[in-house]
């Protein structure tokens, strides 16, 4: 006689031992059964090796972007309004995200190596789940909210125009930056209560999973989608209103009747309000689409889609300098001022050496 196992939703395999649950998943759930115990990274499956390479590439690019952004937004001239404070906070949370994102992968790898004994291995698994995974989720979402705050303030500056009070918005930003981590910590309590170490006694494996009820899944999607959509909608709104108001209020003289020429002038003036949201859309759209389309699957053939979605979610944090500094004339000029001030001592010492 033949026995057929009818697996619960999100479980698959001959003994229903494989678990897959869409892009709300942790990295443990995605790669949990891909890791081979007590095998070096050079002999691990292709999925693990590719994940290791992508992790280190994102980490390297992200660290460089975050450090350059922190250098830029540490200058007082970039923090005259609340927007600069939000971006400084976002740069710091992005840096933490890159560090935790990398630690997450390598702690997961070490948990399958059994190099430190069974007791220490369990400690690594618990630290990875309850500490690193928790902080990674919180700082990632916190970074999205800081970006949303940037978009909201830019919208207010466009609507209020001359009435926009920079000093007041700077005070508001300080309060938001202090209170937002506390609020996010409270909002994440339902997720943390459902975060636990899942043990597969048949395969003798353990990893970090989140048990999602339908309500918790909707709650999690709201936390994820709202700041992203808020950032995209508000930043496009800023770009459109700011350009439209200036274009319609400017009378075209005889030498200025070339609409295309006028458009190029205005685009150059407000390009950072258009380029930044465009970059955000390009970076977040693939992740959001995969998040909506993919859910529980019954085949490991979609593993690569889960991995792509997981890594895409960290690209915005890894490219904050490209997204916000390079498109802005002010921020870019301040960055070059930093480079010049750093190079001056080396240039002077070189001249002194040449004299002697």
3-state secondary structure the chain: CCCCCCCCCCEECCCCCEECCHHHCCHHHHHCCCCCCCCCHHHCCHHHHHHHHHHHHHHHHHHHHHHHHHHHHCCHHHCCCHHHHHHHHHHHHHHHHHHHHHHHHHHHHHCCCCCCHHHHHHHHHHHHHHHHHHHHHHHHHHHHHHHHHHHHHHHHHHHHHHHCCHHHHHHHHHHHHHHHHHHHHHHCHHHHHCEEEEEECCCCEEEEEECCCHHHHHHHHHHHHHHHHHHHHHHHHHHHHHHHHHHHHCCCCHHHCCHHHHHHHHHHHCHHHHHHHHHHHHHHHHHHHHHHHCCCCCCHHHHHHHHHHHHHCCHHHHCHHHHHHCCCHHHHHHHHHHHHHHHHHHHHHHHHHHHC
Q: Is the pLDDT of residue 161 over 90?
A: no
Res 94: pLDDT: 95
* 13-17, 288-292, 309-313, 314-318: segment of lowest average pLDDT: 13-17
Among left, alpha and beta (phi > 0; psi -120 to 50; other), residue 252 is: beta
Check whether 249 has a pLDDT greater than 60.
no
pLDDT band at 217 (very low <50, low <70, confident <90, very high): confident
Q: pLDDT tens across 330-355, in order?
A: 899 999 998 888 887 776 766 666 66
Which residues neighbour 300 within 8 Å (Cβ) at sequence distance 6 or greater?
12, 18, 20
8 A C-beta contact, residue 235 and residue 270: no
Asked if residue 66 has pLDDT above 80, the reply is yes
Average pLDDT across the chain, whole number:
77
pTM of the shown model: 0.80
Question: What is the rounded distance in angstroms from the CA atom of residue 192 to the CA atom of residue 189?
Answer: 5
φ and ψ at residue 207, rounded to 5 degrees: -160, 175
More confident residue, 2 or 306: 306
Tell me: the pLDDT tens digits for 71-94?
A: 999 988 888 888 899 999 999 999
Radius of gyration of the chain (CA): 24
Average pLDDT rounded to a whole number, residues 193-206: 71
Q: Residue 251 pLDDT > 50, yes or no?
A: no
Q: Is the sign of the CA dihedral 211, 213, 218, 219 positive or negative?
A: negative
Q: How large a percentage of the chain has pLDDT more than 70?
A: 68
Q: How confident is the model at residue 298 (pLDDT cuts 50, 70, 90)?
A: very low
Q: What is the pLDDT of residue 4?
A: 54
Domains within the chain, CATH numbers bracketed: 11-355 (1.20.1070.10)
Look-up of token digits 């490219």: 319
The yes-or-no verdict on residue 55 having pLDDT over 80 is yes
pLDDT of residue 22: 47
- What gap in Å lies between CA 100 and CA 141, rounded to an integer? 13
For Cα atoms 40, 42, 47, give the angle at the middle one, nearest 5 degrees: 100
Choice between 53 and 253, residue whose per-residue pLDDT is larger: 53
Length of the chain: 356
Contacts of residue 287, defined as CB under 8 A and 6 or more positions apart, other chains included, come to 23, 309, 312, 313, 315
pLDDT 10s digits, 14-43:
566 555 554 456 787 778 778 888 888 999
User: What is the share, in percent, of the chain residues with pLDDT greater than 90?
Assistant: 21
């Amino acid at each position: 006689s033949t026995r057929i196992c009818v697996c619960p939703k999100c479980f698959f395999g001959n003994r229903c031992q494989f678990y897959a649950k869409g892009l709300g998943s942790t990295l443990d759930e995605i790669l949990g059964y891909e890791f081979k115990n007590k095998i070096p990274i050079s002999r691990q499956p292709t999925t693990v090796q590719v994940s290791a390479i992508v992790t280190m590439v994102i980490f390297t690019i992200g660290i460089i972007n975050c450090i350059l952004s922190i250098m830029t937004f540490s200058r007082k001239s970039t923090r005259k309004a609340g927007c600069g404070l939000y971006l400084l906070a976002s740069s710091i949370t992005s840096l933490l995200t890159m560090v935790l994102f990398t630690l997450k992968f390598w702690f997961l790898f070490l948990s399958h190596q059994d190099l430190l004994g069974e007791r220490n291995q369990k400690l690594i698994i618990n630290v990875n789940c309850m500490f690193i995974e928790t902080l990674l989720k919180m700082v990632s979402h916190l970074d999205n909210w800081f970006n949303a705050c940037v978009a909201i303030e830019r919208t207010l500056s466009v609507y209020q125009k001359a009435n926009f009070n920079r000093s007041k918005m700077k005070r508001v930003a300080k309060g938001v930056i202090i209170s937002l981590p506390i609020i996010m910590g409270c909002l994440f309590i339902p997720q943390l209560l459902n975060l636990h170490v899942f043990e597969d006694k048949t395969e003798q494996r353990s990893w970090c999973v989140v048990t999602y009820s339908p309500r918790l899944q909707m709650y999690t999607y709201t936390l994820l989608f709202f700041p992203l959509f808020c950032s995209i909608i508000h930043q496009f709104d800023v770009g459109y209103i700011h350009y439209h108001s200036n274009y319609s209020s400017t009378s075209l003289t005889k030498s200025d009747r070339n609409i295309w020429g006028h458009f190029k002038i205005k685009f150059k003036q407000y390009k950072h309000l258009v380029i930044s949201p465009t970059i955000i859309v390009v970076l977040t759209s693939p992740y959001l689409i995969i998040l909506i389309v993919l859910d529980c699957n019954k085949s490991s053939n979609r593993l690569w889609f889960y991995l792509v979605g997981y890594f895409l979610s960290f690209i915005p944090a890894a490219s904050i300098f490209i997204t916000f500094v390079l498109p802005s004339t002010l921020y870019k000029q301040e960055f070059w001022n930093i480079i010049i001030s750093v190079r001056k001592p080396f240039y002077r010492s070189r001249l002194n050496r040449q004299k002697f």
